[in-house]
């Protein structure tokens, strides 16, 4: 069965993790385009303020306080959409959190909680959404990560959750296609994004947390999500930095390992001593902000992603964006790592 998605302005869109970061950026962008919104997170106070602002500006939104680690809470989100809007057209599984710490240091309790949110939240949301969308058509959009393709040190458990999200999303897509269900299933794989992500993460290290460059604005992820809501896409990498990591890991995995050993730990940690440890893994944190406090350059758009979604953009622009990402990571270090990798292959 052919998949036909409505224009954004005609849609009801469900977004989990909508009280900050990518979820909030997506909610605001969708509201500006005329979509009706069902916004969910654990933070009731932040949700109320966000919904009030959207409605005051002429949009239409409701909120549901929900913990995506509990399937009964996700069912309440779907029920609210059905009650207020007669259902939904796109379901965005965005809620997620991270843990920074060496695998041997992270507790089993924290690891299980991380999987409850990042993986089981996506599973429950996708299956509940698919049950309704198989009857009328629509889109399921799961926010994974470039770490769905690449594992990095001190975010090893987070990487594991996002690998699991990718596997589940791919399998769900295949099964729905086999049924000829009119449902588009998209995996969004953001690079490092300037949201409050480091502040929300559980911190096992002794230093303040940050993001490895290049870093992109959350509005660029929102752009990709809304593109997928209106035009079926299998997967979308947001940021040429993420594309470079994914491709390097696929075609030169030892080189990617060397990057992890020599660069990626330091690039995730600030010099100052840690002041925040618990984050929002087990309870809601400070919400209501789209952007984080990344101290370096933030790329507002990704030419690579725009080109992937709009093929008329020339390959030269894509090459330029990739070159910029390499420059931000540090040419000399990459050259040295490539040399080391070549020597190890001999």
CA distance 282 to 264: 26
pLDDT mean over 72-101: 98
Nearest one of 17, 18, 26, 42 to 218, comparing CA atoms = 26
pLDDT tens for 127-160 read 999 999 999 999 999 999 999 999 999 999 999 9
The whole-number pLDDT of residue 276 equals: 78
Nearest one of 236, 235, 238 to 221, comparing CA atoms = 238
Residue 344 — pLDDT band, cuts 50, 70, 90?
very low
% pLDDT > 70, the chain: 90
The whole-number pLDDT of residue 274 equals: 86
Question: Angle of helix 21-32 relative to helix 44-56, nearest 10 degrees?
Answer: 20
> How many Cα atoms occupy the beta-carbon half-sphere of 160 within 13 Å?
14
The residues spanned by each domain of the chain are 8-345
% pLDDT > 90, the chain: 86
Which burial class, exposed, middle or buried, applies to 257 when counting CB atoms under 10 A from its CB (0-12, 13-18, 19+)?
Answer: middle
Whether 31 shows a pLDDT value over 70: the answer reads yes
Whether 329 shows a pLDDT value over 60: the answer reads no
CA distance 49 to 45: 7
CB under 8 Å, gap of 24 or more: what pairs does 158-163 form?
158/98, 158/99, 158/114, 158/118, 160/115, 161/96, 161/114, 161/115, 161/118, 161/119, 162/118
Nearest one of 310, 25, 35, 14 to 139, comparing CA atoms = 14
Query: CA separation (Å) from 275 to 99, 271, 280?
Result: 15, 12, 14
Q: Give the active site residue among 158, 197, 216, 223.
A: 158
The size of the chain, in residues, is 346
Residue 343 — pLDDT band, cuts 50, 70, 90?
very low
Give the tokens for residue 25.
């950026």
Whether 294 sits among the annotated catalytic residues: the reply is no
3-state SS, 255-278, equals HHHHHHHHHHCHHHEEEEECCCCC
Query: Do 242 and 190 contact (CB within 8 A), yes or no?
Result: yes
CA distance 66 to 259: 38
Query: CA separation (Å) from 328 to 2, 256, 279, 313?
Result: 42, 16, 28, 23
Whether 346 shows a pLDDT value over 50: the answer reads no
The whole-number pLDDT of residue 313 equals: 58
Whether 336 shows a pLDDT value over 90: the answer reads no
Say which range, 35-39, 61-65, 111-115, 272-276, has the weakest mean pLDDT: 272-276
CATH architecture observed for domain 8-345: 3-Layer(aba) Sandwich (3.40)
pLDDT tens for 213-251 read 999 999 999 999 999 999 999 999 999 999 999 999 999
Residue 17 — pLDDT band, cuts 50, 70, 90?
very high
Residue with tokens 């549901």: 64
Query: Do 31 and 299 contact (CB within 8 A), yes or no?
Result: no
Residue 317 — pLDDT band, cuts 50, 70, 90?
low
The whole-number pLDDT of residue 334 equals: 53
Higher pLDDT, 7 or 276: 7
Model pTM score: 0.90
pLDDT mean over 186-190: 99
Residue 279, Ramachandran bin (φ over 0: left; ψ between -120 and 50: alpha; else beta): left
CA distance 162 to 183: 22
Query: Do 274 and 208 contact (CB within 8 A), yes or no?
Result: yes
The whole-number pLDDT of residue 311 equals: 76
CA distance 101 to 263: 16
Q: What is the CA radius of gyration of the chain?
A: 20
pLDDT tens for 258-308 read 999 999 999 999 999 988 789 999 999 888 999 999 999 999 999 999 999
Query: CA separation (Å) from 338 to 5, 87, 327?
Result: 44, 52, 15
The whole-number pLDDT of residue 314 equals: 44
């Amino acid at each position: 069965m052919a998949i036909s998605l409505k224009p954004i302005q005609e849609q009801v869109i469900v977004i989990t993790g909508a009280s900050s970061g990518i979820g909030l950026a997506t909610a605001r962008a969708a509201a500006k385009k005329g979509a009706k919104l069902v916004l969910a997170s654990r933070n009731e106070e932040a949700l109320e303020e966000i919904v009030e602002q959207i409605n005051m500006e002429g949009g239409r939104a409701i909120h549901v306080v929900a913990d995506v680690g509990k399937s009964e809470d996700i069912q309440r989100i779907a029920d609210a959409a059905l009650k207020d809007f007669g259902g939904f057209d796109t379901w965005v599984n965005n809620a997620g959190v991270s843990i920074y710490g060496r695998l041997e240091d992270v507790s089993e309790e924290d690891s299980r909680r991380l999987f409850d949110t990042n993986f089981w939240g996506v599973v429950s949301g996708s299956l509940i959404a698919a049950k309704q969308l198989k009857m009328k058509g629509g889109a399921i959009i799961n926010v994974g990560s470039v770490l769905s393709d690449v594992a990095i040190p001190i975010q090893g458990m987070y990487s594991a959750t996002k690998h699991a999200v990718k596997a589940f999303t791919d399998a769900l897509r295949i099964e729905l296609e086999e049924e000829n269900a009119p449902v588009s299933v998209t995996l969004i794989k953001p690079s490092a994004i300037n949201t409050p992500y480091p502040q929300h993460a559980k911190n096992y290290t002794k230093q303040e947390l940050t993001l490895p460059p290049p870093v992109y604005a959350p509005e660029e992820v929102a752009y990709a999500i809304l593109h997928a809501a209106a035009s079926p896409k299998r997967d979308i990498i947001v940021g040429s930095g993420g594309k470079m990591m994914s491709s390097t890991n696929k075609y030169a995995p030892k080189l990617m390992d060397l990057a992890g050993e020599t660069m990626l730990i330091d690039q995730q940690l600030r010099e100052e001593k840690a002041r925040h440890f618990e984050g929002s893994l087990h309870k809601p944190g400070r919400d209501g902000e789209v952007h984080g406090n990344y101290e370096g350059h933030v790329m507002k758009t990704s030419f690579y992603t725009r080109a992937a979604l709009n093929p008329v953009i020339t390959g030269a622009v894509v090459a330029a964006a990739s070159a910029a990402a390499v420059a931000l990571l540090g040419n000399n270090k990459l050259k040295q790592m490539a040399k080391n990798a070549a020597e190890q292959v001999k």
